[in-house]
Amino acid sequence: MRSLDDCRLYGFVDTAYLDGRDPSWLAEQLCAGGADLVQVRAKGGSEAEVRELVRKVLPVTKAAGVWFVLNDHWELGCELGVPCVHLGQEDFFDAGYRSVGDLPAKGHRPAVGLSSHAPEQFRRAEEAGADYVAVGPVFPTGTKPGRAAVTLDYVRWAAANARKPWFAIGGITTSNLGEVLDAGARRICVVSAILRAPDVRMAAEEFSRRCAAAG
């Protein structure tokens, strides 16, 4: 796997966007298209469903040398030996944790990504020892209904002040990607603009290529 510093495109196998497709096939398309990380996200899914998703997707990312990220399920991620778990503010700070070292783990301890929606949350995530921080939602997005967009101003702040790797997320499309890159982002998360594209691999390739060209 690449170091997080060198990663550019963060893709998703999100159950809300499967549309009957095989999760392992989607993961293959994302990896082939240049995704450096693939997150499995199953909001509202049972533990059994999440386990099955990990069983299908983790071997694909391993074979491709791509980061596997599990959304929300810290203890399951430890048990299944996943490389990384992503947690939201409500799953980490609101749950009483102040450092990633506070998260309970027996044996395997995944890397940790944390969400942030404002500079003070970003600073707190860095101080907590997050391996990377997500910055967003940059634009309004259906994956975060009711969450106000943080706008490109927060992206510019992160570009100027971040000490840890960070990924811009939320409503990023091929149409507004140039604005996000011009604001200083060099790592992006993309959900619907790839998963709802006619050709998933080709869409991932375009995002990956444009991010790489930005330097």
Enzyme catalytic residues: 41, 115, 144
Contact assessment for residue 189 and residue 14, using Cβ atoms and an 8 Å cutoff: no
Residue among 102, 36, 48, 99 nearest 73 (CA)? 48
DSSP letter at 6 equals G
Contact assessment for residue 166 and residue 214, using Cβ atoms and an 8 Å cutoff: no
Q: How far apart are CA 17 and CA 182, in angstroms?
A: 29
Residue among 209, 199, 129 nearest 177 (CA)? 209
Q: How far apart are CA 115 and CA 89, in angstroms?
A: 6
Residue among 185, 193, 200 nearest 8 (CA)? 185
